[in-house]
Amino acid sequence: MIARALPSQQFWRLTIAGTFTFLAIWSVAALSGLTSRAFLPAPWDVVVRFIELLTQPFAGYVLHEHLLSSLHRFAMGFGLAVLIGIPLGLLMAWFKWIDRIVTPAFEAIRFVAPIAWVPFAALWFGTGIGGPILIIFMGAFPPVLINTYRGAKQVDRKYIEAAQMLGASSWRSMTEVLLPAAVPSIVAGLRVSAGLGWQSLVGAELIVASSGVGYLMVKGQASVSTATVMCGMLAIGIVGLLIDVALRRLHAAIEQRRGT
């Protein structure tokens, strides 16, 4: 059975109802006295702590400074994955010999969870910026490469052959035929890549960083401040959602421009 889309008003009513139900259950559990408020703060305790973190430094920085530090690492790792993944995916789709060289190593590496690179990154980079960038890259790179490769492979060969008949070089065929046709698949891959990269960043900051939202959460745990940890989780969720919304809008704009 195929689920039918809900009307917009009904969708928002159900969303609000679900949110309030969750907050009500959380509040009752926090006020029940079954556990200390230090371990299960009420929703308003988290809100108060969130506001405090915006103005009072914790673990060396206020909350938005931790977020900026995290976003800086994410931008570098994710950007590196895009800069390498898209060209390499196009080259693999165009040249069979590059595909045969890269695929065995890539298939072996892509199944290694990004968090598994943490010990290696810590040994090589310590708490410097290189470690988190490596871990983010290892999380974000595979979806970019895979979607670029698949998108390029799905391009109708008649367009490429037509370009070649008109005298287009391999470079022009890739950049003016293959790349534009593969863009929807590439952008879809970027959404997956950004999500995995952001999750990988948080895992990296839990171990190999001296600032950032993940580091704030570690220090919150060390000081037995569950509210601080929850604030970090809330910040991570909000920023991750904003990144995904931006990429979804980019995808929709591209599809609209293409008339699909």
229's tokens: 């940890």
The dotted CATH code for 42-258 is 1.10.3720.10
Q: List the chain pLDDT tens, one digit each, 260 residues.
A: 445 555 667 777 888 888 889 888 888 888 887 777 778 899 999 999 999 999 999 988 999 999 999 999 999 999 999 999 999 999 998 888 999 999 998 988 888 888 888 888 878 877 677 888 889 999 999 999 999 999 888 877 776 667 667 666 767 777 777 888 888 889 889 999 999 999 888 777 877 677 889 889 989 988 888 999 999 999 999 998 999 899 888 878 877 776 65
Predicted confidence at residue 48, as pLDDT, reads 93
> Rounded to whole angstroms, how far apart are CA atoms 231 and 220?
10
Residue 230, number of CB atoms within 10 A of its CB: 19
Give the separation between CA 141 and CA 147, rounded to whole angstroms.
Answer: 10
- Identify any residues that bridge with 61 across adjacent strands, giving them in sequence order: 58
Cα-to-chain-centroid distance, residue 100? 29
What is the structure's pLDDT at 76?
Answer: 93
| pLDDT at residue 27, rounded to an integer | 87
Note the pLDDT of residue 83. 95
- Residue 166's φ and ψ, nearest 5 degrees, are -85, 5
Residues in the chain: 260
pLDDT at 53: 94
Per-residue model confidence (pLDDT) at position 6:
56
Q: State pLDDT tens for residues 215-245.
A: 899 899 888 889 999 999 999 999 989 998 9
What was the pLDDT predicted at 5? 54
> Which distant-in-sequence residues (6+ apart) come within 8 Å of 155 by Cβ?
177, 178, 181, 182
H-only helix segments in the chain? 8-31, 43-55, 63-94, 96-109, 118-125, 130-153, 157-165, 170-173, 179-205, 213-222, 226-258
pLDDT reported for residue 209 = 73
Residue type, 100: R
Cβ neighbors of 251 (< 8 A, separation 6 or more) are 184, 187, 188, 191
- Residue 181: what pLDDT? 80
Work out the number of other CB atoms within 10 angstroms of the CB of residue 232.
30
pTM greater than 0.85 (yes/no): no
CB 218 within 8 A of CB 70: no
Q: How far is CA 7 from the centre of its chain?
A: 29
